[in-house]
Each structure stands twice: as structure tokens, then as C-alpha cells.
Amino acid sequence: MPSPYLEWIDEKKKICRLDIIDRVFIGRVCKGIDDTRRIILKHPAVSRDHVEINLTGTQPILRDLSKNGTWVNNVRLAAGSTKPLEDGDVVGLGETQIHIRCPCQVDGAKNDEMESTQTLVTPREVIVTNVVADVRGFCSISQMEESYRIYELMKEIIQTFCTIVHDHKGTVKDYTGDEVYAFWEHGSHLCKEQAVAACLTALEQAQTVNKIRAKLAGVNPAGESLRLGWGITTGKVTMSHYGWRVTDLTLVGDCTNSAFRLSSVANKKLKSEIVVCCQTADLVRESLPTDDLGLVTLRGRFGQDHVYGISRERNCPESGLNYEPSYVGDRISVTDFPEMIH
């Protein structure tokens, strides 16, 4: 049975063909991949590893790995997404058009075979602690500054904050617009360690704001008055995926919505930079001092929420000593040590 194959015209105007045996990589380098399974395109807009095409049964499925984007039939794919390819589809990257040829149509039996090899994604209910960092006055900054200044500011924030999340063993869920969203998974039972790690992450992120502001001083006006607010919540969510994209991991639950709402009032309507829900406060107060901020009304929510603040002044003293949790049994104690926050 003939295999699907790729057909394109190279820089010497020669028609080229490559069979899709099981997997094909397309990019500017594709290091370590055998020549029979890669297409090298020497174009600056093509990423080192731009796309991967896998054969599932007789169905080629493209996965985008690029920074500058991939087009299928002149439609740009969402970053990190996957797309089944059909006979006659055209994949565009850089200045090259790659045509998909599938000599054999997939019949019903082949469809069944293809579906049996796909991963089953099952929604599951877990407890998480969410941390959302939100830039204050972002709309006004965007209105006053050039877009590339805003990009440079957010790039600095995202790179710095994501590194801190990873250092504290959290997962970065998303960074869009003026927000960076991360979470710590507890499992089926509340875990103090995860909640403390999330709060320490927010504290460390807050301490880097002055450094970001200083780094951009005189270079980027968008960063001169940089201020952020953090919302932290703990609760049950349903975790699963929407659509085809690997990046479509979603956490659905009231506590996720609440984290975004709290981040929007922190360091704004509420004086505290870091605002946490009562459940998070219960988990961390033996390790990190909290301030009772009372009841607040959050936009789009019924009733009032009892919230607490976590201040840098109380948890990160000017002496330069910072806090690290240690765990004994089901208790968390706090010891101070220097230079935790870079």
C-alpha cells in the first residue's frame, strides 16, 4: 500500500519528494534526525525544528513547533496546535509550499484503527492552588506607549516570573496580555506544601518587580511605574483539554475564576500586593504571616469573599533573610536563610 508523501520545490527549483514512513521533521536544522525523515529549509523565518508530521494509521497529523507560524491551506495554525492533513493540503512555512499527497483514502476500518491509537483524554477533578499575576494600569500603559515597548516589558516579566514558577515546581498555565497564570497541583487532598510553594512564588515575583523596573529605567518608559497585583486561591477544579492543541490544557472551577478576580483588586482596591482566599490562608498561616483584609465583593460573584494579604515586609524582612518551608509530618515550619530570592 503506497504511503502518504510530501512534495515541494527546493531552492534549485527541483521537485522533491519524501515518503512519510512514520514521522517527518521539517525545519532549519532538525539536529539528530536522519536525512530520510527530515526536510531542511534554509530560510531565516523557519525555526530550527518547525513542524513534525506523524503518521497515525494512514492519516498524517501535523504538529506546529514553530515561533514564526505554520500555515495549512493559507490558514495560520494556533501555536503548538496539531492538525490532521488530507490529500491536496498545502503546508506553508518560510517561503516554501509543501504539498500533501495521500494516494490511499482511509476506509472505515482504517478510521477505526486510527481512532484506536489516539490518546484518550479523561477530565479529572483535582485540588490546585492558582497564582495569577496582573499588571496594574496595563490598558493605560498600552494606550500611551508603542507596542514594541509593551512587548519588551511583558517579555521581561514573563521570562522572570516563569523561571520563578519553575524553581518552585509549579506549572505555568498561561501568559496572555498582562497576566501570568500558574498552578500547583495537590491531587485529591489538600497539601500545605503546594500552597506554601505558590505563595512563596508570588512573594519572590513581587521582589523582582523593583529589579525589572531598574533594568528598564531609561530604556523603556513602559516599565518606569510598573506595579502588579497577585491573586491566590485553592480549591477543586476539573482538569482536561479542549480541542487539538497540546497547549489547550484547561482548569475549570470557581477557584480559578476567583484567582483572576483577586488579582484584579490586589494592590488596587486592596492595599496588599498579594491577596489570598481563606482556604489558602488556612493552609499557609503557620508558615507565612497573613493579614486579615476582611470581606470583599468581587465582580461577577455572588455574596462576599473573606480574603487575606501576604506582605513582603512581614515575610521577606529587610535584613535580607527570606523564608523557606520545611516539612515534618503534617506540619510546616519556617526557617530563614539568605539569598533565596534572586
Name beta bridge partners: 169: none
Least confident of 70-74, 174-178, 209-213: 174-178
- Could you read off the pLDDT of 6-19 as tens digits, one per residue? 999 988 889 999 99
- Whose CA is closest to 267, among 315, 206, 214? 206
CATH topology of domain 124-338: Alpha-Beta Plaits (3.30.70)
Q: Where do the domains of the chain lie?
A: 5-116, 124-338
- pLDDT category at 247 given cuts 50, 70, 90 is low
Residue type, 162: C
- Whose CA is closest to 73, among 81, 63, 85, 61? 85
Residue 70 DSSP SS3: coil
Is the pLDDT assigned to residue 45 strictly greater than 60? yes
- Per-residue pLDDT, averaged over 66-93, amounts to 89
- pLDDT category at 172 given cuts 50, 70, 90 is confident
**Are 145 and 135 contacting, i.e. CB atoms less than 8 angstroms apart?**
no
Please check whether the domain covering 5-116 is classified as CATH 3.40.50.300. Answer: no
Q: What is the pLDDT of residue 106?
A: 45
The reply to whether domains 5-116 and 124-338 share a CATH topology is no
Residue 6 DSSP SS3: strand
Among 51-60, 73-82, 202-211, 241-250, the range of highest mean pLDDT: 202-211
Report the percentage of the chain scoring pLDDT > 70: 84
Taking the model in full, what pTM does it have?
Answer: 0.64
Phi/psi-derived region of residue 328, left when phi > 0, alpha when psi is between -120 and 50, beta in every other case: beta
